Amino acid sequence: MTTDDAVAGALEEMADLLEAKDVAYKPRAYRKAAENIRDHPASVADLAAEDPDQLDDIDGVGDAIADKIVEYVETGTIGELEELRDELPVEMGALTRVEGVGPKTVGTLYRELGVRTLADLDRAAREEKIQEVSGFGAKTEQNILENIEFAKSARERELLGDGRPLADALLNHLRARETVERCEVAGSIRRWKATVGDVDVLAASEDGEAVVEAFSDWERVEDVIEAGEHKASVRAGGGVRVDLRVVVPEEFGSALQYFTGSKDHNVTLRNYALDRDVKLNEYGAFDISDVEDPDSGQRVGERIGGETEESMYDALGLPQMPPELREDLGEIEAAAEGDLPDLVTQNEIRSDLHTHSDWSDGGYAIEEMVAAAAEFGHDYLAVTDHASGPGIFGDTGLDDDELLEQIDVVREVAEDAEIDVLTGVEANIDAEGDLSTGDDVLDELDVVIASPHSALDAGIDEATDRLVRAVEHPSVDVLGHPHGRLLNQRSGLDLDVPELAAAAAEAGTALEINSNPARLDLWGRTVKAAIDEGAAIAVNTDAHSPGEFEHVRYGVHTARRGWAEQDDVLNAWSVEELREFLH
């Protein structure tokens, strides 16, 4: 079955290859079409198969692109794409994962040096051939070389934003089967880590073979790696490895606890249990106080837990710890002392303070974003389009005059909106820590996000000092995606987060968890470090389209990994409490 992601991916690959050939205009058109296909509420692939005329209703999809979509759905490829691949036989995805290497660079290095693969690029950089190409220099070559190792390991793990939707679809598929009594994800994806090695799924059933068969027959499966009576592994959803394990219902809870991990959490918990004459494993919790040799088997002793996950912790007199906390960072001690945090939930998030419209690089009008936020359930919204400045590509950033003009437009929209609407900006932090927007303009805005978009290779002291200067600016309310990282692409700034958070707390500036799955910045441990220093946290999506409001769930679970409670999260407050913070 063709998915919308596959259709969009094919168009994006065409855009990259056309850009590598220096073709004007078309790359942007294909990328816009791909973005709108992913955001479209109905299945574009189904439309192409059943009613192709409706493709013209999708913004950015004209007759030519519509024909290519239909061709891809019908044949699994696009003739023009195959021709482009033949003309430019490069591993575009692998090469462009190297920071500083875009499609045009790939095209140039292929034509000049015959670079096709990451290994070719590495060899050319080490042999100092890249600096000899016109438009390149020794510094560019060195930057490429330094980033290649990161790119090589980047695809070892999948983004949570890619793995979790795939896992959710599989859960729906398996839960619809009568033979499946219970089903849940396990492993790092259940703990909501930013990247996952694979997708682990656990099912409870008396008929393991039937569940394995249903799993192997799932429409998203591309390749069955192995399949047995109670376990199976497949490639699905663009090559993601998915592992299934089927257990008997009475051992589902113990297996879920065991396979959720983390390993460090489980080791500490098992030792805690042994000190109390309880043996924990994937088969249950067993009272071994009267057992002479506890190591004589996995199920020795009296079974006192295992059907539910809660029973595994209850056997130790402990409350069940949320999966996000199970990293052996003191959660077991906190549970024993009754000090587990009351973690923030998605229902408690009342707004989004970092969003973009078509005034900058968003795809929708301010009115559309506000209406979508209201429909999503938000009480208020801040419009924070990009300001011009370092790190903003093209001419999408707004200068001071344009920002002043936008203020009036936002206030007009607010008059008819169902929710409160705040004016704002995402200003850029330059290499010295200064902002790209004038102070007189910042004073006119309700919410000022300041974010680093450039000079992301500074040392830890320089980078920390730079962002401390930014959070201490009297107009800055939120520090956006503090590290500037892009998962599987660049690591971003190295920061002394406790020092930065202490400065932010003193200045009354919040630190952002950017919920975009490609960022998740801050992340769990940095969130905890920030909260420990007293800094407020803002869980924002950086939404460029209505569909991206859904990304808030990734930010919320990231906040939970950092032990965040409702009071710690700025946009879980009422609009009145927020305004008091802002002023």
Instruction: Tell me the per-residue pLDDT of 298-324, one tens digit each, with 9 for 90 and over.
Output: 899 999 999 999 999 999 999 999 999
The residue among 280, 273, 262 whose CA lies nearest residue 561 is: 262
State the Cα–Cα distance between residues 327 and 347, nearest whole angstrom. Answer: 24
In this structure, are residues 379 and 347 in contact, taking their beta carbons and an 8 Å threshold?
A: no
Pair of tokens at residue 566: 């409702």
Instruction: Flag the least confident range among 10-14, 238-242, 335-339, 480-484.
Output: 238-242
* 31-55 as b/e: b if 16+ CB within 10 A: bbbbbbbbbbeebbbebbeeeeeeb
State the Cα–Cα distance between residues 218 and 200, nearest whole angstrom. Answer: 15
Decide: helix, strand or coil at residue 492. coil
State the Cα–Cα distance between residues 355 and 351, nearest whole angstrom. Answer: 10
In this structure, are residues 509 and 324 in contact, taking their beta carbons and an 8 Å threshold?
A: no
Instruction: Flag the least confident range among 44-53, 129-138, 352-361, 406-415.
Output: 44-53
State the Cα–Cα distance between residues 570 and 561, nearest whole angstrom. Answer: 17
Higher pLDDT, 348 or 263: 348
Domains and CATH numbers, the chain: 4-154 (1.10.150.110), 158-247 (3.30.460.10), 252-336 (3.30.210.10), 346-582 (3.20.20.140)
What phi-psi label fits residue 501: left (phi over 0), alpha (psi between -120 and 50 degrees) or beta?
alpha
pLDDT at 153: 63
Bond preceding residue 522 cis, omega within 30 of 0: yes
Region 119-123 average pLDDT: 92
Burial of residue 227, with CB atoms counted within 10 A of its CB: 0-12 exposed, 13-18 middle, 19 or more buried:
middle
Instruction: Tell me the per-residue pLDDT of 231-246, one tens digit each, with 9 for 90 and over.
Output: 999 989 877 889 999 9
Burial of residue 150, with CB atoms counted within 10 A of its CB: 0-12 exposed, 13-18 middle, 19 or more buried:
middle
What value does the mean pLDDT of the chain take?
92
Higher pLDDT, 93 or 15: 15
Decide: helix, strand or coil at residue 325. helix
Q: Determine how β-strand 278-281 pairs with β-strand 284-287.
A: antiparallel
The residue among 464, 459, 402, 466 whose CA lies nearest residue 428 is: 466
Instruction: Tell me the per-residue pLDDT of 460-479, one tens digit each, with 9 for 90 and over.
Output: 889 999 999 999 999 999 99
Instruction: Flag the least confident range among 103-112, 134-143, 266-275, 310-319.
Output: 134-143
Element (H, E) at 482: none
With a cut of 80, say whether residue 393 has pLDDT above it.
no
| Residue 281 banded pLDDT, cuts 50, 70, 90 | very high
In this structure, are residues 259 and 186 in contact, taking their beta carbons and an 8 Å threshold?
A: yes
Type of residue numbered 479: L
State the Cα–Cα distance between residues 435 and 441, nearest whole angstrom. Answer: 11
Beta strand spans in 218-261 (E): 221-227, 231-236, 240-247
| Residue 380 banded pLDDT, cuts 50, 70, 90 | very high
Higher pLDDT, 312 or 147: 312
In this structure, are residues 419 and 374 in contact, taking their beta carbons and an 8 Å threshold?
A: yes
In this structure, are residues 485 and 458 in contact, taking their beta carbons and an 8 Å threshold?
A: no
Q: What is the largest CA-CA distance in the chain?
A: 81
